Structure 1
Amino acid sequence: MTSSKRGDDDARTEIIHDVDYPLDVPNAPGRSGGTAGTAGVAGASGSAGGSTDTATTAFPAAGRTDYSQFAESGGYDMSSPLPFGDQPATIAPASRDEIARRGTTDFGLFVLRLAVGVLLAMRGLQKLFGMFGGPGIDGFTQTLTDSGFDQARIIAIAGGAVELVAGVMLVVGLATPVAAAGLLGLVGLGIAIRLTGADPIPVLSDTTRGLEVSILYAAALVALLFAGPGRWSADRKWAWSHRPRFSGIVWLVVVAVVAGLVWYFLNGTNPLTSTADSAPVTAG
Structure 2
Amino acid sequence: MATHDKGSAGSSAFSDDSFYSGGGGAHHFDDGTIRAGSDVTSPYDSTTKSFDTTAYTPLDVSTVDNRDDDDLFADDRKKFGWTAGPDLGLLGLRAVLGGIFLLHGLQKVFGLFGGPGINGFAQSLEKMGYREPTVLAWVTGVTELAGGGLIVLGLFTPLAAAGLLAVMANVIALKYKGGFFGPNGVELELALAGMAFTALFAGPGRAALDYNRSWFRHPLAAGFIALVLGAGGAAVTFFVFR
Question: TM over 0.5, yes or no?
Answer: yes
Tell me, in whole angstroms, the C-alpha distance in 1 between the residues paired with 2:22 and 2:65.
Answer: 40
Deviations 1:27-48 (A, max 9, x none): 8x99xxxxxxxxxxxxxxxxxx
Tell me, in whole angstroms, the C-alpha distance in 2 between the residues paired with 1:89 and 1:220.
Answer: 49
Cα displacement (A) at 1:139: 1.2
Cα displacement (A) at 1:142: 0.6
Cα displacement (A) at 1:64: 4.8
Query: Of residues 143, 156, 167 in structure 1, which corresponds to 2:148?
Result: 167
Q: Does residue 1:123 correspond to 2:104, yes or no?
A: yes
Which secondary structure does the structure 2 equivalent of 1:59 belong to?
A: strand
Tell me, in whole angstroms, the C-alpha distance in 2 between the residues paired with 1:167 and 1:243.
Answer: 22
Tell me, in whole angstroms, the C-alpha distance in 1 between the residues paired with 2:213 and 2:5.
Answer: 59
Partner of residue 241, structure 1: 216
Partner of residue 28, structure 2: 59
Tell me, in whole angstroms, the C-alpha distance in 2 between the residues paired with 1:212 and 1:239.
Answer: 34
Partner of residue 109, structure 1: 90
Cα displacement (A) at 1:121: 0.7
Query: Of residues 151, 160, 170 in structure 2, which corresponds to 1:189?
Result: 170
Structure 2 length-normalised TM: 0.72
Cα displacement (A) at 1:62: 3.8
Deviations 1:152-183 (A, max 9, x none): 00110111011101111100000100111111
Q: Give the conservation status (yes or no) of the 8 Å contact 1:227–1:242.
A: no
Query: What letter corresponds to residue 77 of structure 2 in structure 1?
Result: P
Query: What letter corresponds to residue 215 of structure 1 in structure 2?
Result: L
Query: Of residues 179, 203, 212 in structure 1, which corresponds to 2:180?
Result: 203
Partner of residue 223, structure 1: 198
Q: Give the conservation status (yes or no) of the 8 Å contact 2:4–2:25.
A: no
Instruction: Count residues in correspondence.
Output: 197
Partner of residue 93, structure 1: 77
Cα 1:213–1:88 shift into 2, 3 Å:
same
Cα 1:177–1:54 shift into 2, 3 Å:
same
Partner of residue 239, structure 2: 264
Q: Give the conservation status (yes or no) of the 8 Å contact 2:108–2:117.
A: yes
Cα displacement (A) at 1:56: 3.7
Q: Give the conservation status (yes or no) of the 8 Å contact 1:230–1:242.
A: no
Cα 1:59–1:238 shift into 2, 3 Å:
same
Cα 1:23–1:238 shift into 2, 3 Å:
farther
Cα displacement (A) at 1:210: 2.1
Query: What letter corresponds to residue 95 of structure 2 in structure 1?
Result: L
Q: Give the conservation status (yes or no) of the 8 Å contact 2:170–2:234.
A: yes
Structure 1 length-normalised TM: 0.62
Q: Give the conservation status (yes or no) of the 8 Å contact 2:163–2:230.
A: yes
Query: What letter corresponds to residue 109 of structure 2 in structure 1?
Result: L
Tell me, in whole angstroms, the C-alpha distance in 2 between the residues paired with 1:238 and 1:209.
Answer: 40
Cα displacement (A) at 1:222: 0.5
Cα displacement (A) at 1:113: 0.4
- The runs of 5 or more residues in structure 1 that have no matched partner are 1-19, 31-51, 66-85, 268-284
Cα displacement (A) at 1:191: 1.6
Which secondary structure does the structure 1 equivalent of 2:189 belong to?
A: helix
Tell me, in whole angstroms, the C-alpha distance in 1 between the residues paired with 2:160 and 2:225.
Answer: 14
Query: What letter corresponds to residue 97 of structure 2 in structure 1?
Result: V
Cα displacement (A) at 1:135: 1.3
Cα 1:252–1:60 shift into 2, 3 Å:
same
Tell me, in whole angstroms, the C-alpha distance in 2 between the residues paired with 1:221 and 1:23.
Answer: 81
Cα displacement (A) at 1:265: 1.2
